[in-house]
Structure 1
Amino acid sequence: MNDKIENLLEENRKFTPKTDLSQNANATSEWFDEANENRLEFWKKQALERITWFKEPTEILDSSNPPFFKWFKDGELNLSYNCLDRHLETDADRVAFYWEGEPGDTQQITYQDLYERVCRLSNALKKLNVKKGDRVAIYLGMTPEIVVAMLACARIGAVHSVVFGGFSSEALADRINDAKAKLVITADGAWRRGDIVPLKDNVDGSLELTEYIENVIVVKRTNQDIDMKQGRDHWYHEITEKEQSVCEPEIMNAEDMLYILYTSGTTAKPKGIVHTQAGYLTGVTTTHHEVFDIK
């Protein structure tokens, strides 16, 4: 039996970058040499230079119990603080991200604006009894609220799990049950290729298959009629607009759970992949700097 995968296309061309791009790139040959020569010192340097810590770690990698490796295990930090607060003193009015949605609406969201949105939702989540370590399912379209939701969960120490908005009620319920999520953040609907995806209706269907959810937060996006169950369902704009725009970040251990992302389930039951605080943030910030060449 041939154990090789058949190749229908072979590509041998090389596309080298322009000289000025190579000369000014963040990723250099020295950077790669440094990583190869002493990987632990390399990652220590990345973590200490790129992350703002409440308590800097003294140990980089604990490999005493494989395969359960622990990175920066005695360090303390908050991801939301790193993404927002530390930029406010000098870059509060700088655009954090640009958003363009379907059917064509746009927003330019500054760090100050994003910080205030995140803090308001953080306070609203607390009033709905979401605490450090609780699980929150996020079932939204590609809107600014999905960014706010992830950062708000990180700010208060809740563990978020983003579920693709194209998944069915049954698939959503499976992930809610596995994560034991106590709250869902969703929308009335989402735009996709000119059609409306009935997100809230799908959530209602999933809640018939789970007993974990206590509250549902609903973003008003597509404005179609939906069922809102009194006491359980809450409009996003109503519960956030009355909240304060300041919320102290929870102090998190480097190895505390940050989020759960489920595998596709193509070959077996979807598995929840756990990402922790400091390891994830170190990897992401380093990747943005070196691979995306962020200046």
Structure 2
Amino acid sequence: MSGNEAVWFPKEDYLQQTRLYQWMNKTGLTNYDEFFQKSIVDTSWFWDEAVKELGILWDTPYQKTLDLTNGVKYPRWFTGGKMNIYTNSVEKWAKNEQTKGNKAVIWVGDDGSEQTFTFEELMNEVEQTAAGLLATGVKRGDVVTIYLPMLPETVTAILAIAKIGAIFSPAFSGYGAEAVAARIDASQAKFLITADGFFRRGKVVNMKKECDRAVSLSPTIEKVFVIRRTGQEIPWTKGRDLEWSDIRKNVSPSKTVDTYGNDPLMLIYTSGTTGKPKGAVHTHAGFPIKAAFDAGICMDVKPGDTLFWYTDMGWMMGPFLIFGGLVNGSAILLFEGTPDYPNADRIWNITADHSVTHLGISPTLVRSLMKYGSSSADSFNLENLRVIGSSGEPWNLEPWMWLFETIGKNRIPIVNYSGGTEISGGILGNVLVKPISPITFNSPLPGMDAHVYNEQAESVISQVGELVIGKPWVGMTNGFWNENERYEDTYWSRWPDTWVHGDWAIIDEHGFWTITGRSDDILNVAGKRLGPSELESILAAHEDVLESATIGVPDSVKGETAVCFVVLQNKLLLSPELKLELLKRIERQLGKALLPSMIYQVSELPKTKNGKILRRVIKAAFLQKDTGDLTSIDNPSALNQIKSLHPTVKE
């Protein structure tokens, strides 16, 4: 089966029940392609209609949907409008008699402990927390770093910060001190919220110790708020460190701050090619509205649903989970643990037990779960599961089909979702009113004026090119924090008034889109462009290959040639016969000209702590070059084996 053959089709009754179809009907446009075209031709009309459809409440109505006085790089949305996203995430549901008792937050711990909060209970928690933060000196405009695992208090803290008009800046809970300190310094945060620790695979992870090291490197931090999760003994600095439970005692609720929609809400740092993190600036009426739109209108999240995205608050999908769910009146599920501990069926168990309607996972996670077979999911009732979301990296065919057929029983659509931290969500997706084919995207998301450009900045079909966006959208980062020159250079420097996202993509003759890799990962073999995922998919489709990675290395004849790395199943060895078989598969599917010069076996591939394979680092290690910032790598020891493989290195 090829990736451009649809395998999921929306039946007429299903289609008519989707939020997207019903909204299209209200606008008088029942044909999706016509609706999409209008969404990118008249962006002001589109986003004005979108916030109405989402039921966004404004304390002061906006005067103009889109103001381009400062150019397309710096659009201003909903000018003059005042709203606080906390009101739209919690208060509007908690103060409604019909919805105040609905579940808002479900938390599942690594150790099996659970907590559930209704919208009314969540509001009370946020009110207490906001008052406590104000009483200890946090004020409007202050930056508060969030260095927390997935806990109920993580959600409470973020919403409380929004309520009082401060700015939260999440850092991945698995980061070491140096990475956290780099983000604190870049944001000039005055406050940090952390935990004594958390549980992972039954073991205690001490966060406070790492937090203290980070603070010792960050002179701007004035106060550290500590949430007790594990109860372990931890170092304590009197006068600086404050107990989370103490700051919430004997406080009086405060009024929600009357913020403008364009006021900063979140600084979220994302990796840069130089290794220095980039601080994307997001606003009250930016990131949360885009996240809510993508989740609610495109993925069909509704009031009463349960959204569970396996992620961390330091990655974009963490805040997406909060606002994508709560703004739509859905419960959100946070999971502290790992998907295959203590048993291989953990993630399916949680999904079934809590009647999850929307589950978000990554291709890497699916590949890791495949080794357990279908038995890990077969014993659970997943009938409430309506949508499986996927983000973070390109798919290859076999795991996608395994997820669709074995787990989803050919019933559940997989919403492939690709965008980024600076986007506030997706550029491309699978809308539920069109057929879905494996590993691809069936459309840019409404409002996203996406194209594939060749070197001459011409839109192309059936050619690999740069993924670009031609018009601004709600949720677009308001520059980088104190680094707008870097922002402009990163996204706007190649072609006038065109956002160049940094992904290679291709649109096939049927209109399905595929992300083939990052622009700087693309190979140019004797003038032929080759996305690394094209080779990786062929290799990973072999039953003996668990996962693979491809890089381009200099070649005196072709300019560049491919080198592949494979991790094999069940501790197998890469025999000459298996290597030949893999090469023949590649030749059969891509032709002799694109054969890799070498396939190496490794015991593991270097990945980020959320499972992304780092080709940039693999390439640098293999070529004996500086690997740059390694703070985001979960297994840096994997690089030692890769370094030893280069022909110039003696065993």
TM-score of the superposed pair, with normalisation by structure 2: 0.43
Q: Distance in 2 between matches of 1:36 and 1:56?
A: 27
- The residue number in structure 1 matching 2:63 is 58
1:272 corresponds to 2:264 = no
Structure 2's unaligned 5+ residue stretches are 303-651
Give a deviation string over 1:89-129, Cα, whole Å, max 9, x none. 22221111222111111111101111111111111111111
Alignment of 1:2-13 (within 5 A): 11-13=3-5
Which protein, 1 or 2, shows the higher relative CO under an 8 Å CA cutoff with sep ≥ 6?
1
Structure 1's unaligned 5+ residue stretches are 1-8
> Quick check: 2:132–2:249 contact (8 Å CA) kept in 1?
no
Aligned AA (2:66): L
- The residue number in structure 2 matching 1:194 is 202
Given the alignment, which residue of 128, 140, 156 partners 1:148? 156
Aligned AA (1:278): A
Q: Distance in 2 between matches of 1:12 and 1:290?
A: 24
- The residue number in structure 2 matching 1:21 is 14
Give a deviation string over 1:21-46, Cα, whole Å, max 9, x none. 22311122637434532321121122
Given the alignment, which residue of 39, 45, 56 partners 1:41? 45
Q: Distance in 2 between matches of 1:22 and 1:89?
A: 29
Aligned AA (2:5): R
- The residue number in structure 2 matching 1:161 is 169
Q: Distance in 2 between matches of 1:21 and 1:195?
A: 44
Aligned length: 286
Matched residue of 1:57: which SS?
Answer: coil
1:228 corresponds to 2:236 = yes
Q: Distance in 2 between matches of 1:190 and 1:201?
A: 12
Aligned AA (2:286): G
Q: Distance in 1 between matches of 2:203 and 2:67?
A: 49
> Quick check: 2:65–2:79 contact (8 Å CA) kept in 1?
yes
Q: Distance in 2 between matches of 1:10 and 1:219?
A: 50
Q: Distance in 2 between matches of 1:17 and 1:202?
A: 49
251 and 173 in structure 1: CA distance in 2 versus 1, 3 angstrom threshold: same
10 and 174 in structure 1: CA distance in 2 versus 1, 3 angstrom threshold: farther
Matched residue of 1:77: which SS?
Answer: coil
- The residue number in structure 2 matching 1:101 is 109
- The residue number in structure 1 matching 2:185 is 177
> Quick check: 2:61–2:82 contact (8 Å CA) kept in 1?
yes
The worse-fitting range, judged by mean Cα deviation, of 107-116 and 28-37 is 28-37
Given the alignment, which residue of 214, 217, 229 partners 2:222? 214
The worse-fitting range, judged by mean Cα deviation, of 259-268 and 147-156 is 259-268
Q: CA deviation at 1:147?
A: 0.5
Q: Distance in 2 between matches of 1:78 and 1:146?
A: 19
Structure of higher CA gyration radius: 2
1:71 corresponds to 2:77 = yes
Aligned AA (1:84): V
Matched residue of 1:273: which SS?
Answer: strand
Aligned AA (1:59): K
* Cα root mean square deviation, aligned: 1.8
- The residue number in structure 2 matching 1:5 is none
1:254 corresponds to 2:254 = no
Given the alignment, which residue of 122, 126, 130 partners 1:118? 126
TM-score of the superposed pair, with normalisation by structure 1: 0.91
Aligned AA (2:213): G
- The residue number in structure 2 matching 1:238 is 246
Q: Distance in 2 between matches of 1:219 and 1:85?
A: 24
Runs (4 or more) in structure 1 with deviation over 3 Å come to 29-35
23 and 47 in structure 1: CA distance in 2 versus 1, 3 angstrom threshold: closer
Aligned AA (1:11): G
The worse-fitting range, judged by mean Cα deviation, of 279-288 and 171-180 is 279-288
> Quick check: 2:196–2:208 contact (8 Å CA) kept in 1?
yes
Q: Distance in 1 between matches of 2:200 and 2:105?
A: 21
> Quick check: 2:146–2:192 contact (8 Å CA) kept in 1?
yes
> Quick check: 1:132–1:156 contact (8 Å CA) kept in 2?
yes
The structure carrying a bigger helix percent of its residues is 1
Q: CA deviation at 1:134?
A: 0.3
Give a deviation string over 1:267-287, Cα, whole Å, max 9, x none. 531100011111223212222
Q: CA deviation at 1:18?
A: 4.3
Q: Distance in 1 between matches of 2:280 and 2:178?
A: 20
Q: CA deviation at 1:218?
A: 0.5
Aligned AA (1:53): W
Matched residue of 1:130: which SS?
Answer: coil
1:263 corresponds to 2:270 = yes
137 and 85 in structure 1: CA distance in 2 versus 1, 3 angstrom threshold: same
Matched residue of 1:153: which SS?
Answer: helix
The worse-fitting range, judged by mean Cα deviation, of 216-225 and 65-74 is 65-74
Aligned AA (1:70): R
Q: Distance in 2 between matches of 1:168 and 1:70?
A: 36
Give a deviation string over 1:59-98, Cα, whole Å, max 9, x none. 1111121211111121001111111111122222111122
Aligned AA (2:293): T
Aligned AA (2:63): T
The worse-fitting range, judged by mean Cα deviation, of 157-166 and 49-58 is 49-58
Q: Distance in 2 between matches of 1:150 and 1:10?
A: 43
Aligned AA (2:117): I
Q: Distance in 1 between matches of 2:239 and 2:290?
A: 40
Q: Distance in 2 between matches of 1:157 and 1:223?
A: 31
Given the alignment, which residue of 79, 90, 95 partners 1:84? 90
Q: Distance in 1 between matches of 2:9 and 2:225?
A: 47
